[in-house]
Amino acid sequence: MLPLSSSWFVQIPASAAILLVSILLLSKIYHYFQCQLLAQKSLVNRINKILPQTQCGQCGHPGCLPYARAISTGEAINKCPPGGLTTLLELANLLYEPVRSLDPAHGQFKPFSVALIREDECIGCTKCIQACPVDAILGGPKLMHTVIESECTGCDLCVEPCPVDCIDMTAGTDNLAPESCQLHEARITTPGARP
């Protein structure tokens, strides 16, 4: 490319320019692949944000993040019963997919509930503690166990391993349900001239 006969004051800037251009090119290529990776990761994150994080495994994946990864690579979005209709609609909205009804193979919609251990029947086997995905059960071997209600996700995973069937799913104090509007219906209007 460069004439060998050129003197040093041509050669040095020219090689510097080539070096600069190649660095820029490489960084662009690197940036492109980085962006692809980020887009994938941010999609997983956005899906994960919509999922209810109960970590119940009803979708067939060990937790919500693995299911979010699976959705990002094309898995069906209608496998999350605890998320309810809101999750289904938001996912469909995010991924431009048609809204389908919940896959019955993975369970039914049901209201939010929390686990409750009937404490006098508990034998202290620690099996539910091992099953709990969010460490919401307290207790030790041969000691009574109990559920921390505020941390329980209502995932049902502790019910099945219990050898004495002393765990019930009860309607938790659900502070998320919109306040009953009966009280507001009591609002009254005074008759009178309108302005």
Partner 1 sequence: MQGDAVYARTTMGGIKPPPHKHNSLRSRIMATPIPEHLAIPIGPAPSGLSATGVKVGERVLKYQMLSRYKQAGLTGDESGQLAVPIHAPTSGIVTAIAMAAVAEASVQERLCIHLSSDGLDEALPLQSEKDYHALTPPELFQKIAAAGIIGMGGAGFAVARKLHLAAQQEVDLVIINAAECEPYITADEALIRERAVAVLLGSDIIKLACAAKRCVLAIEDSKLDAIAALEDAINSPLLENANVELRIVPSKYPAGSEKQLIQCLTGLEVPAGQYPTDIGIIMQNAGTAHAVFAAVVEGKPCISRITTLTGNALQTPKNFDVLIGTSTNFLFDLCGINRSTKVKSIVGGSLMGHELFNDDAVVNKTTNCLIAGTVEEFPGIQPEQACIRCGYCANACPVNLLPQQLYAFSDYEDSNQLIQHGLFDCIECGACDYVCPSHIPLVSHFRQSKNSINAHRLSMERSQQWQQRFQYHQYRIKKDKDQALGSKDSISAQESVEFAESFATETIAEQESFSKEKASREIAAAVARVKARRSKIINGDPDKDEPPSGDSN
Please name the residues in contact with 153: beta carbons below 8 A apart, sequence gap of 6 or more: 53, 54, 55, 56, 82, 133, 134, 136
Residue 70 carries which side chain, given as an amino acid letter? A
Shortest separation between residue 21's beta carbon and partner 1, angstroms: 28
Shortest separation between residue 112's beta carbon and partner 1, angstroms: 9
Shortest separation between residue 150's beta carbon and partner 1, angstroms: 9
Our CA angle for 43, 48, 50, nearest 5°, is 105
Could you count the other beta carbons within 10 Å of the beta carbon of residue 56? 20
Task: Choose between 122 and 152: whose C-beta lies nearer to partner 1.
Answer: 152
Shortest separation between residue 100's beta carbon and partner 1, angstroms: 21
Query: Token pair 């559920």 is at which residue?
Result: 147
Task: Choose between 6 and 45: whose C-beta lies nearer to partner 1.
Answer: 45
Q: At what angle do helices 8-50 and 64-72 cross, to 10 degrees?
A: 120
Task: Choose between 49 and 110: whose C-beta lies nearer to partner 1.
Answer: 49
Which residues of this protein are in contact with partner 1, per CB under 8 A?
38, 41-42, 44-46, 48-49, 51-55, 63-65, 132-136, 151, 153, 175-179, 181, 183-192, 194-195
